[in-house]
Amino acid sequence: MDKILVGLKRVVDYNVRVRVRSDGSGVETDGVKMSINPFDEIALEEALRIKERGDANEVIVVSIGSGDSQQQLRTGLAMGADRAILVETSDRVDALTGARIFHKLIDRENPDLVILGKQAIDDDNSQTGQMLAAIWERPQATFASTLVIDGSKATVTREVDVGLEIIEIDLPAVVTVDLRMNDPRYVKLPDIMKAKKKPLEQIPLAELNIEKAVAISQVKFEPPTERAKGVMVEDVAGLVATLKDKGLI
């Protein structure tokens, strides 16, 4: 295949404890470490392995967001991607709008494979890949734990509720990856320096003429209620009585 397109989303680092802003308008990001969405990092690692096996010629990373997302794209370039595209917008982008953006880029780049993380850890929607496949009218394989390319076909092992499912799809296609697909490589300093010379194209969202489809507005954010302290009981009768007092039985 010629090209693989990989999505990278900028999110709060998974090691950081998320805090809600005092006014409830969203999650606090000032001074907070940001990183590539972990599932997207796995998607990029898989694309790079496919290229290193000689099954692809180019890996392109794409991010949608503010100029700050260049940091995550540069990390993707340091991992081994060949070039990057940033679709710039300061507005919140929902899953359907994101899928439409990727579709516009597919029309420009004509990739043979699009690999995305199965979900982003900030909103946990798990919708963009499925919507993109529907708009593109191409096959999809979601929640993939293994991916084998054989010419114009791909064999994918999917993680489903009852175990594992193996399917074969025609390329081009959309694949969304699960946690157990691989362990992303560590980025070294020389690779970071080389990444600065790799091309990073910036495209204002308005230039793509995307129809916005925000059907849900985020009105207010609240942190989860603190977990109540446990209660010690002496015997089963005490446990039953406590549960009855709390209206649980």
Max avg pLDDT among 39-43, 215-219, 232-236: 39-43
Task: Read off the pLDDT of residues 17-44 as tens digits, 9 standing for 90 and up.
Answer: 888 888 877 788 888 898 999 999 999 9
Q: What integer best gives the mean pLDDT of the chain?
A: 91
- The sheet carrying 163-170 orders its strands as 163-170, 153-160, 140-150, 173-177, 113-117, 3-7, 58-65, 83-88, 200-204
Residues 110 and 117: beta-carbon distance below 8 Å: no
- The DSSP element (H or E) to which 91 belongs, if any, is none
Tokens of 38: 């972990």
Residue in this structure with the two tokens 């000689």, named with its chain if needed = 54
Q: What share of the chain is helix, strand, coil (3-state, %, to 5)?
A: 30, 30, 45
Angle at 61 between CA 79 and CA 208, to 5 degrees: 160
CATH of the domain spanning 3-245: 3.40.50.620
Candidate from 96-100, 145-149, 200-204, 208-212 with smallest mean pLDDT: 208-212
Give helix 70-79 / helix 38-52 axis angle, nearest 10°: 30
- Pairing relation of β-strands 113-117 and 173-177? parallel
Residue in this structure with the two tokens 């193996």, named with its chain if needed = 166
Residue in this structure with the two tokens 């490589």, named with its chain if needed = 185
Task: Read off the pLDDT of residues 189-216 as tens digits, 9 standing for 90 and up.
Answer: 999 999 999 999 999 999 998 877 666 7
Residue positions counted in the chain: 249
- pTM as predicted: 0.85
Residue in this structure with the two tokens 């290229």, named with its chain if needed = 51
